Each structure stands twice: as C-alpha cells, then as structure tokens.
Amino acid sequence: MFKKRKMIVFAILVVLLLGIFGFLGKSKPAAEPGIVASPKIFAHRGAIDQFNESTITSYKIASEQNVDALELDLRMTKDNVLIVMHDETIDRTTNGTGRVSDLTLREIKSNVTLGQYHGEITMEEIPTLAEILQTFGNKQNYYIETRLVYGETVMEEVLVKLLSEYHLLDKEKVAIQSFSERSLEKMAVLAPDLPLTLLFKKGEFDLEKALTVDFPAIGMESTDATVEIVNALHRQGKEVHVFFNDLETMEQQQEKMKALNVDGYFTDNISFTKRLLGE
C-alpha cells in the first residue's frame, strides 16, 4: 500500500514538473521580417515638434529632413476646396472658430495659425492642398488621408483631379489612407494605381477585417500592435503602419514597434525616429 502511494506521488510530481518546464519553455512568438526593406518615416502633419502642424513651413522643415512622405489630413470647405487640416474645426490650431465644412475658403483664409519659430512670432495661413502640391510638386512624396464629408464620399473626385493636374497619380509619389472603407473603395475606382491604407482607431482594431480587406497596408495605433497581429498581417503580405496618440510615450512605443518590424511610422519627431531606425 505504501509503495503504491509513493508511486502515485512520484507520478504527480513528474506531471507537475513537466507542466512547469512546458510553461517555462513557452516563449513569446518572434517578430517576423517586415514587408519593406527598411521602415518608412512619414512626417505626421509636418515637423510638428519644430513648427505648427499642417502648415507649409512645417512641411518644408520635414521635407528638408528627407522623410519618405509628408502626411496630410484633408478637410473640405463649404465651397468644395480641399484644405490641409486635421480637425473638424479650425478652433484648436488657428485664431478663428468654426467647422471647416461650414466655412468658405475666403473665410478660412481670414484666419491664421499663430506660433513661434526661432523666437519670432509667426502667422501663417491654413494651406489648401493645391498650395502644398504647388510648393513641393513631384520632389516630395505624399501620404494623404481622406474622409467622408457629412457621411458622403465627395472629396475623392476633387482630390484625384488635383493630383492629375500636378501629374501625381503615381504610386511612387502618392499613397492614400483613410478610416473610411467607402472612401478607399472610391479612390480605388478613381485612381487604381495608388496604394491604399485602411486605418483603425485606437482600441477598435479588427484583425479579421484587416486580413480580409483588399488594401495593401493597414494602419493602427501603436498600443494596438502586438507581435501576433503584426506577424499575421505580414504573412498576408500587408504592410503595417503605426501612429502614436500619446506624445509622452511615443519614443518608448516607437522602440517597441521597431522590435515588431513594422513597416511605417507616422512620427511627430522625425529626428528621433531616424536615429532609432539608424538613418
């Protein structure tokens, strides 16, 4: 009886030890190689650590730092002109107030972005997309974000017309990103050569959708990116581009993204990202 009990205890210990070693032996999946040879750096709204966002000066500073693309957010005015502005209103970044879609271009231009540069007070108009394209032409690459206007896909045709006028309907020069599948689907019809990126808001990432949509790149907030998610997208042949909502943790998050081999960074600090990536 005693011998039998010893054998049972021994068997239990063996099972426990095997379980412990099995648990310890399980390691986190390794990051697989990215899709691109070297990660891309996108100047998020320009060089916003050095100048006011979404201004021509901010984009000039970014352009001088040899980024892979200037990242532009589009809004449409009441009279159907595309301007470069992230917010729905002009309140945060200018001395004016009001929704972009409720203001004409003339009314938009009566307000300025106020800031400081090299110790001097600056005043700069909100640029139209045409003014940005006029300034940089085909000497720069553009990563343009489209969005619905009052729930409708109306800015896409205006955008494609402008890109055509400036001879920029070129996949090497322009990429389109959007949180709206409808907008991207319309762009795919109007400008089939341009690469498209589906964006996901922070906390709303859907891997199943990201894997099945017919877009070559996926954009997400960095805290939603994991090695499993990035690997799954890479296996599907999709690039992974990350943005950073928290400026205080951006540097730490970018270091984590480097370990995951993501393919693109929407950065608010170009010089840091270039150092991180060894450029």
Tokens of 279: 């450029």
Q: Distance (Å, rounded) from C-alpha 219 to C-alpha 242?
A: 5
> Is 86 among the catalytic positions?
yes
Tell me whether residue 258 is exposed, middle or buried, using C-beta atoms within 10 angstroms of its C-beta: 0 to 12, 13 to 18, 19 or more: middle
> Is 118 among the catalytic positions?
no
Q: Distance (Å, rounded) from C-alpha 110 to C-alpha 92?
A: 15
Q: Find where tokens 């581009």 sit.
A: 241
Tell me whether residue 175 is exposed, middle or buried, using C-beta atoms within 10 angstroms of its C-beta: 0 to 12, 13 to 18, 19 or more: buried
Tokens of 198: 């589906």
**Which is catalytic among the residues 44, 118, 167, 234?**
44
The set of catalytic residues is 44, 86
